[in-house]
Chain A
Amino acid sequence: MKTASRVLGTAFFSCGFEVQDAPRYGAERRGAPTFAYVRASQKPIQERGVIRNPDLVIVGDDTLPAVPAAGVMHGVGAQTVMLIHSRDDADSWRHRLNLAGPVIVLPTNGDVAADTDLPFVGCVSAGAAARLTGVISREALMAAVAKELEPLGDRAVRENERRALAAYEDMEAHEGVVREARDIRAEEYEAPDWIHLAPEEAKISAPAIHAAATSEHVETGAWRTARPVVDEARCNRCWWICSTYCPESAIAVSPEGRPEIDYDHCKGCMICVAICPSHAIAAVPEEATPREELESR
């Protein structure tokens, strides 16, 4: 998404807009929720930080709306356009998230995105977004992809250009659907609900966690792009290797020596896949996991 924001930012900029784009860093790890934002304006931009009321929200992974920390719905209002990469249709998302504004799903042909499409989500998003704004030309988009991906080499640039352009063409029916919201005016603002903090006892106000295992509440399993799956026939019941090497302690071993993976907390690092001496653990893309199984969790 950082790539998407830079491509979109550069494209806006070359079309004569003032631009501000930034990724938001937190847990720097593949699969962890992350986001980036772009502002564009005909005037110099004085606003800063995370966009409070976005005109367009792009979701690159449809497991994110269910993750509170991802903040997908933050500031989404009646005017906000939602562009989401998903195999579910727009009506489902409109209903599921109670969205009042336009909802657009990628890919538009209803095909399930293949695993090999994943690295291109950024440029596909940027290409689609460019058309949705209605103010970015094909040429500006192509030049922006080439500029931002140049360090990755010609092949990566060409493939990303192709996909960004396809997404741009795909969005023809929605050209210009994104509208610039009004600034919040000083005549009619809603006053912040400030409070004066009262002093509290140190046992309350010290930053300490007294409960054990609070990380159980956070289902980091949603970060996975692929899951390790144990082949019972090949597993030789060594009882310790995968479970010891698992950095998340997400593999327990049953009394019979059978590894049991806690998919709520396995982040999909695949260390177990690499370390298993009998090659009994395979990496299966999350998209290949049956939907019912995901929903039953």
Chain B
Amino acid sequence: MSRELLTGNGAAAWGARLAEVDYVPAFPITPQTEIIETLANWFESGEMPGRLVTLESEHSMITAAGAAAATGVRVFTATSSQGLLYGMEMIFSVAGWRAPFVLVNVSRGLGTPTTLESDHTDVLAARDSGFLQLHCATCQEVVDTILMAYRIAEDTRIRLPVIVNLDGFYLSFTREPVELPDPALARRFLPPFDAQNLRFRASAPTSQGVAVLGGSPYSYFRYQAHLASLRAIEVYDEVADEFEAAFGRRHEAIEAYRCEDADILFVMIGSFATKAKAAVDQLREAGWRVGLARIRLLRPLPVDALRRVTSGARGLAVIDQNLSMGQGGVLHSEVASALYGHPKAPPILASFIGGLGGRDISPEELYEIAAETRKAIDEGRSPLPRLLFTRDELREIRKLQAIAEVERNELEVKR
């Protein structure tokens, strides 16, 4: 099989093309725009049959995606950051329609202050919506995961939309070697969408997404969506097996890298996990027993797999590239809730917040995270949450604040 250099955005477009999607409602936003530009070129040149329509907002775009999926066609769309949030009302609504499609989110930190660069606070805002959520660490994973996502989304036991997340800049604009699945194999792996009773047809009226009052029917429908989401854990594994059989690549719900005998595990999502892999190799060479647990399937959260992967470790270092204000790292609390009370849960659970707004995490910082976690294991007490932030960075902030006249006393006097 030949490989070629593709950006994460290019890989996402190829995922949609190989999935032979019928309809793409679109709206541009950095750093996602290259995906819909690539698709638009293919539709225009006739390389892809189907239709791309630009809507006037993400709110309309997500509505159109859900509505088109509810007619039984295969739908793809993509957004990022503020766009995802602008469409958030419909993110929750369309998930309840039980109409499957795939939405690629290219992670970008949320305002304010405004940024273009990556973190996961945007996609985690959709955590409770009913969308399933898959996180990629490489450009190869982006194309593979989109194909897998359609299989899971369209499975008759599930029928929920799926968000496939890739990190802005670190994947979206970064070219890496990617092996594109053979189109014929892709078609065999992902046959045309069998929508069953999901349809709108002339002279056959259907009401979808109805209103209910009284609480009981609401509880039934909402909990059914939750149960469908939970079933996606087993469906994911089936699909991963089939994907591996077809293409020879295995994508676990939780990637366990050198975890078997590890005392300390990095726990992360997204593309920074490849940096952690390199750090694991270096730390191993220095005699440390360190591994990486990377959560690919965040919704549903594969709790049993997480318990299994972490059960031998003495300390977990959760690195969150997101921030729930007033609580801390989202992944940290997810992991805590999954492991609490479990007899084999590692005694130390340390929280590190890093990579906000695209801030890099250096190898030295990953080594130091391992060192702090080891110290906590020795002392028998989990450390305070830590933001990865250096004295030099604060100095840089002080310079900017001086220019902005933030803390000068004369500012008060002038007024």
Contacts and interface: CB of A to CB of B under 8 A. Distances in A.
Contact of B113 (A20, A22, A194, A207): A207
A186 B285 contact: yes
Interface residues of B, number: 52
B156 interface: no
B250 interface: no
B360 A50 contact: yes
Contact of A48 (B271, B365, B367, B391): B271
B401 interface: yes
B386 interface: yes
B142 to A, nearest CB: 14
Interface in B365-406: 365, 367-368, 370-371, 384, 386-392, 394, 401, 403-406
Nearest to B393: A195
Contacts of B390: 192-195
A63 to B, nearest CB: 22
A10 B175 CA distance: 10
Nearest to A26: B116
B227 interface: no
B175 A9 contact: yes
Interface string A181-219: 001111101111111110000011001111100100100
A25 B367 CA distance: 29
A192 B177 contact: no
Interface residues of A, number: 43
Contacts of A22: 7, 169, 173-175
B363 A211 contact: no
B361 to A, nearest CB: 9
22 contacts: A19-B176, A21-B175, A22-B7, A46-B274, A46-B281, A48-B170, A49-B170, A52-B360, A184-B364, A186-B367, A190-B364, A192-B365, A193-B391, A194-B368, A194-B386, A195-B391, A195-B394, A196-B386, A207-B112, A210-B404, A211-B405, A217-B403
Interface of B: 5, 7, 30-31, 112-113, 116, 169-170, 173-177, 271-272, 274-275, 277-279, 281-283, 285-286, 288, 360, 362-365, 367-368, 370-371, 384, 386-392, 394, 401, 403-407, 411
6 nearest A-B pairs in the assembled complex, by CB-CB distance? A46-B278, A211-B405, A186-B286, A22-B174, A209-B404, A207-B113
